[in-house]
A and B are shown apart, each in its own frame.
Chain A
Amino acid sequence: MKSLLRSFGRIWAVFMKETVQIRRDRMTFAVMIGIPIMQLILFGYAINMNPKHLPAALLVEEQTPIVRTMIQSLRTSDYYDFVMQTDDPRKTGDLLARGEVAFVVSIPAGFTRKLIRGEHPQLLIEADATDPAAASGAVSFAQTILSDALRHDLKGPLANLAGGQPPFDLVVHQMYNPEAKTSYNIVPGLLGVILTMTLVMITAIAMTRESEQGTIENLLAMPVQPIEVMLGKILPYVVVGAGQTVLILLAARLLFDVPFIGNAWILFLGVSVFVLANLALGFTFSTIARTQMQAMQLTFFFFLPSILLSGFMFPFRGMPEWAQTIGEVLPLTHFLRIVRGVMLKDTSLAQLQSPILALCLFTAVAVSVAMLRYRRTLD
């Protein structure tokens, strides 16, 4: 009994010591509170497994009451947000390739006439199936939505068309991924996720390790400039990142049969900028954190939204506006557009201009912050 009491006393001693130390380390405390809040908000509000309001383009070559009814029904279904309506097929040409829309709905000239004659005209939906989950909901409900809409219009002399088979033929092209394989979407995405996780983490401890081991004093006393330290510290990991990329791309081909139809040099450029962006960010973290532990926490804090809001796990276009805005800041979001574009869609360099520039901008900002935060003295 007495020894038990003594043991409690010592447990209490350790408990108090830990409490004091937790209070001293404010960043750990902030992370312990911040991560649950972030997860709640992201999972609760941002993520949508059955995404609606996906951007779509409309190619309509004729305007008739029936066509207008059909368009209106798609619009009110909440699945499609028509960001563009045109009668010129050239304008919708590369919208899917550039990832600006998830669908192109085409109603050809003569559709109404054929419909009334009972010739079952074709109505085409081209879906960007690089993310099969995003496309599936809107596509699977299209048939029902359109048939229901027409039922009201098909009265009187057209009543015979209303019953039984729908009077039109809905053709869905699952572009870039006709079999709707999720691995086509996930495996290229994993390249970005793995690079983000490992590269940010490895450089995040770059300066904090020097501080913790006291070697920073020596480094600062030597005639070496901050930018020289930064480049010297991140460049070895560019090689590491290249190795990881080759490994994952080989696995994508050999194990998962993911196609690679685009230009490898464009991907090489994209990976290079993306790797630099992550390394620069990691280095920035290491100038902010005081300890290696804090650097790890910052990395994790960054990693969570990268996974959830970048479009890696959940359809980017299915998220609310604010979540997409946050997503646009994350390098992974832009890299996913590049890697999926090049591998699955054969997207051209010109079409990938904006994600590549976004990554360059991110890198520049990260380097600037790191240089501002870099301690040139021990103050």
Chain B
Amino acid sequence: MSGDYAIDVHGLVKRFGSKTAVAGVDIQMPSGEVWGFLGPNGSGKTTTIRMICGLLRVTEGTGQCLGYDIQRDAARIRELTGYMTQKFSFWSDMTIRENLEFVARIYRLPHIRQTVDETLETLGLTHRQHQLSGALSGGWKQRLALAAVTMHDPKLLLLDEPTAGVDPQARRDFWDEIHHLSLKGMTVLVSTHYMDEAERCDRIVYLAHGEKIIEGRVPDVIDRSGLLTFRSEGEGVRRLADDIRNEPGVEHVAYFGSALHVSGKDRAAIQAALAKHQAPDVSWSEVRTSLEDAFIALSAEAGEDKRVHA
């Protein structure tokens, strides 16, 4: 295995016809970690994940996954990875149990009945095992999918926006399960749009326009954005937003409930701007820049989409 990297890919490029979806991505992900994969819609997250697990052919670039060549040994990689698709892709006209049994048979797991029983028990779906999987709610579908793709005890887990459209409690349970799997030694790559989920990861990779913009631990990524953020709460503060936004040195103005966040890189300029639009009952205080602010800044710096669209 190349330096014990679970994923070790260089210069991955994927073109669909004349459209470039991924424009040269490098990822060196050590075994046993939990990484977050972030970026706006269409930034190439799904395409990259699919190339890693052999669901898409690589246009350019090389790489290994779990020590196997991603182009030559796709079949071997499939046996050792669990891939959870963005959209629920289990068979909705089959019951929960039938789906799990199918997966167990495909991976030729021993003691199918017992394995499935245990999985159902862990999932808490034993009493609903004979319901059609299509009848499950979004949160349960995701839990079923996670259970199904981890039943064969893969070394690497690739999760593509697993918690999209799932309620907060279910998301929290889901992440508890991910960390539980990670403790058992599974390497996990999760793509997500949720900042709180990103903060649960050991490291994050941020993609925009098919390129890797930044990679690192969450505090490092925030630091590297170089942003300062001021916050104020109060009745009139929201009315100030449009005025402040146009001041020099102010990069972002964002609402957080009744509060307003103003970010920029130049402390003096921001303070000047805030002073200019001083209002009664409004007092500004400096706060920690959020990951979201950092990402919006990073995306803005990444500039226009340079990929060619035909």
| A222 pairs with B54, CB closer than 8 A | no
| A217 pairs with B78, CB closer than 8 A | no
Set of chain B residues within 8 Å of A214, measured between Cβ atoms:
85, 87-89
| A217 pairs with B89, CB closer than 8 A | yes
| B75 pairs with A223, CB closer than 8 A | yes
Complex Cα gap A378–B55 (Å): 6
Measured CB to CB, the residues of B under 8 A from A are: 16, 50, 53-57, 74-75, 78-79, 81, 83, 85, 87-92, 103, 106-107
- Min CB distance B51 to A, Å, is 9
A interface, size bucket: 10 to 19
Complex Cα gap A378–B86 (Å): 14
- Min CB distance A147 to B, Å, is 70
| A377 pairs with B92, CB closer than 8 A | no
Complex Cα gap A213–B91 (Å): 8
Q: Is A179 an interface residue (CB 8 A)?
A: no
Option from A223, A376, A379 in Cβ contact (under 8 Å) with B106: A223
| A378 pairs with B56, CB closer than 8 A | yes
| B53 pairs with A221, CB closer than 8 A | yes
Option from A215, A216, A224, A377 in Cβ contact (under 8 Å) with B54: A377
- Min CB distance A228 to B, Å, is 9
Counting from the closest, the 10 A-B pairs by CB-CB distance are: A218-B89, A223-B78, A221-B83, A223-B79, A217-B85, A214-B89, A222-B106, A217-B89, A215-B89, A378-B55
Q: Mark A191-220, 1 if CB is under 8 A from B, else 0.
A: 000000000000000000000011111101
Set of chain B residues within 8 Å of A377, measured between Cβ atoms:
54-57
| B92 pairs with A213, CB closer than 8 A | yes
Q: Mark A258-286, 1 if CB is under 8 A from B, else 0.
A: 00000000000000000000000000000
Q: Which residue, A218, A220, A224, A379, has most C-beta atoms of chain B within 10 A?
A: A218
Set of chain A residues within 8 Å of B92, measured between Cβ atoms:
213
A-B contact pairs, 27 of them (CB 8 A): A213-B89, A213-B91, A214-B85, A214-B89, A215-B89, A215-B90, A215-B91, A216-B89, A217-B85, A217-B87, A218-B89, A218-B90, A220-B55, A221-B53, A221-B55, A221-B81, A221-B83, A222-B78, A223-B75, A223-B79, A223-B106, A224-B106, A225-B75, A376-B74, A377-B55, A378-B55, A379-B57
Set of chain B residues within 8 Å of A218, measured between Cβ atoms:
85, 89-90
Set of chain A residues within 8 Å of B79, measured between Cβ atoms:
223
Complex Cα gap A217–B47 (Å): 13
